[in-house]
């Protein structure tokens, strides 16, 4: 192997030519992050990056986590019977938000009352 010493402007020109040979830089359509940014920092810019750079990110995720399937966390024994109530509350909140976005205020109000009742049950209060 031979060492080559270049002045700063020649070095920049050589690197620019190498970048052009690789083609245009792919950027996430949502946040503008390039895969080179991820390689440099180890961080993605947004949730869309995972979809857009899937091919590049999956090997790294597999190496770090041992799998590419997210299983999440499961509650411990202390969650007990409230676990099902918490899941139902999350489902109702999502549905209520969708109703509000659609302008269905009556249904959103009905769901809000159900959420209030669930909150009381989670706290152990009588409804």
Q: How far apart are CA 100 and CA 123, in angstroms?
A: 26
Number of domains in the chain: 2
36-66 pLDDT, tens digit each: 888 888 888 998 988 899 888 888 878 877 7
Q: Pull the structure tokens for residue 49.
A: 């990056």
Domain assignment present for residue 63? The answer is yes
Residue 52 lies in a domain: yes
Contact between residue 127 and residue 120 where contact means Cβ atoms under 8 Å apart: yes
Residue 33, classified by CB atoms within 10 Å of its CB into exposed (0-12), middle (13-18) or buried (19+), is: buried
91-109 pLDDT, tens digit each: 999 999 998 999 999 999 9
Same domain for 60 and 28: yes
Domain assignment of residue 4, yes or no: no
Task: Kindly state the average pLDDT of the residues 18-24.
Answer: 61
In the predicted model, what is the mean pLDDT of the chain? 81
Residue 127 · residue 117 · CB < 8 Å: yes
């Amino acid at each position: 192997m031979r060492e080559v010493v270049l002045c700063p402007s020649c070095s920049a020109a050589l690197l620019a030519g190498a970048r052009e040979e690789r083609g245009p830089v792919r950027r996430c359509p949502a946040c503008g992050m390039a895969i080179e940014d991820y390689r440099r920092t180890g961080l993605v810019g947004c949730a869309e990056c995972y979809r857009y750079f899937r091919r590049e990110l999956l090997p790294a995720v597999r190496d770090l986590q041992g799998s590419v399937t997210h299983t999440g966390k499961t509650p411990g024994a202390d969650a007990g019977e409230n676990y099902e109530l918490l899941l139902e509350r999350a489902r109702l909140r999502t549905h209520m938000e969708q109703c509000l976005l659609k302008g269905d205020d009556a249904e959103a109000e009905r769901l809000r009352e159900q959420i209030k009742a669930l909150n009381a049950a989670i706290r152990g209060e009588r409804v």
